[in-house]
Structure 1
């Protein structure tokens, strides 16, 4: 979905995610002594960008000072001229690299997932083939940083904000160009760096910014939030509270503890096809279904990107079982699929390598049917 959101839906003005409240309160309390450079880092799917865009709106909000001492302050007012500029994507005191990271032009991990029906999934997913919770990554070059200099150096009566998303994608030359700005801060300028991979940032960059503890996640708040979201939006079917709790716990494990990634997974169409994937594979293995027929079936139900995700999760548990480990997806009837026990780790790895090759081919605009046919042929001989 690439459209401008209404003010009550915009990521700029949405409520703070529960597990972010402490980090938010600590940052807002430092209003008068906010550092020039801030780093928001952590694995993809924890809500970093949700936090950053709400913080940007609050920094630029015309009514910020009226509520800065309010302990219940949750963000920008959503009504002043500054907030309206943000909504339209034309705020004169905000610069973003890359431009595609602006919430009004691209959904990212800051946007909560919405439940997709089978009939709507293919049209909506095709528009978002890069996954809603994973922003597109573009290399940030030295010229991009140099183009920011006039904005950073010019005077202003208020605050000016520059967001550098996927800061780990800066080239060495770009990072070195940014160092001068970080070393000679101008009053009223805030540089907000966002990254899923802080270890890829130059040590000289990290030493000149202060990291916000956005990656400290309280499990009880995350679990309650996801459970309430599922119950309110009927994301998945469950028969009891204990079954819901099991699904939430499992999704968090599969998502390495990232709350929004777990919620995105549970809300996805492909997640419902996990058991079907195994049954189709068994039919392929026994010769009851051809790879072409299986390819046609999956093409009608999932886009190739989603089928790849589905395949990776199933093959992950195939690998675990071949190593004598318990599968992470405990809700599947693994005991009934004895054929899995005879799989070799090498054969599973061959299919995983095929998947990686198909991913690379996707960047060359290979037709989806060709990718599907090739992948199902590999799965058939697993």
Structure 2
């Protein structure tokens, strides 16, 4: 595989190292153990579906598996001194030739499929059939060292119908000594026939200590108290990196401050928030703002439904604000209904390119109406 330009990659979070460059995987020892058990039993399936929330380490696991399989020779027989002990880790020495080749995107036994760029130099929003068809040439080449070939599809959710059908044919008639690793954030978006032909490795959100270790490995500059970051990121390193790069902690605090003014509404604060959404080159910040508003509504609904605010707090004094605005199940239902309506409204607004400032203000006014009821 090759990478001849410096354009952003579809399989790399902004501000974070690429998953192939990530040395350790935190918090998913069980998934690694499950794969190693299948490998050692000599019943290694040809296709694996690695599923879980965004940013929890699915791609890092896939690249670890790829290095391991390409660097671990096939044991044809027990040899003169008997069979070696089964491996207990997916770790491969960084100085191993396979590690160097993968790092340099020069491993002949490896192919990575992601969303590609179109003729106008824009990143496609789907994996198209031509992206999958390049594998036909890859499979036509001779096997790499150890006789294995590896394919990573990141993410399989992003395949259009034609691409999914092309991949399905490969899963139905897999090339010899080939392992396909499909990364999925939303398995329900995949064809049932694709899911049924894969073994599953399920990854969950990271615990706070594992996420902090992963962020430190990624070189992130963590706040003195990372409790709020852990609450907003919900166990996702990718989400945490995005929050840090876009000043998301401060942004959520501003959204929460507006909520604290309800039902009277801090109009000056609401206007300032809307202006930030409409600023030039504020696309990513606008997306994050909508996500944080949605998160606030969900946490309000959870507070009323359970009788207590979620822990840990996502901002100072959040618990008291949530408890005042959503003190009972009746209010919880109102906030949950609003969350559903706001989600539909924002999706429609983005689809028709509605003015970001107007969309944010409309959402804030609906929050005011809900609080006033």
Equivalent in the alignment of 1:155: 142
Contact 1:13 1:78 in 2 (8 A): no
How far apart in 1 are the matches of 2:45 and 2:302?
46
Instruction: Name 1:279's counterpart in structure 2.
Output: 257
1:177 maps to 2:162: no
Shift of 1:52: 0.4
What 5-or-longer segments of structure 1 have no aligned partner? Answer: 102-135, 239-243
SS in 2 for 1:156: coil
Residues 84-106 of structure 1: CA deviation (Å, up to 9, x unaligned): 443344544332222459xxxxx
* Aligned equivalent of 2:59: 49
Helix, strand or coil at the partner of 2:111: strand
> Which of 238, 243, 248 does residue 270 from structure 1 map onto?
248
Given the two structures, how large is their TM-score scaled by the length of structure 2?
A: 0.67
Report how many residues are paired. Answer: 328
- Deviation, structure 1 residue 228: 5.2
1:326-363 CA distance string (max 9 Å, x none): 22156335446776258684476346523542344335
RMSD between aligned residues: 4.4
> Is the Cα contact below 8 Å between 2:150 and 2:179 reproduced in 1?
yes
The runs of 5 or more residues in structure 2 that have no matched partner are 1-6, 75-83, 118-122
Secondary structure of 1:12's partner? helix
Change (3 A) 1:39 1:231: closer
User: How much does 1:216 deviate?
Assistant: 6.9
Please give the secondary structure, in 2, of the residue aligned with 1:191.
strand
Q: Deviations over 1:15-45 (max 9, x none)?
A: 3324333433553462665332222123334
Q: Find the aligned partners of 2:35 and 2:265 in 1 and give their Cα distance.
A: 61
For residue 286 of structure 1, give the secondary structure of its aligned residue in structure 2. Answer: coil
2:175 corresponds to 1:198? no
1:38 aligns with 2:48: yes
Cα distance in 2, alignment partners of residues 282 and 224 from structure 1: 30
CA distance in 2, matches of 1:354, 1:43: 22
1:292 and 2:302 equivalent?
no
Which moves more between the two structures, 75-84 or 292-301? Answer: 292-301
Establish whether residue 98 from structure 1 lines up as the match of residue 108 from structure 2: no
Q: Residues of 1 paired with 2:256 and 2:209: CA distance?
A: 31
Structure 1 window deviating more from structure 2 (30-39 vs 310-319): it is 30-39
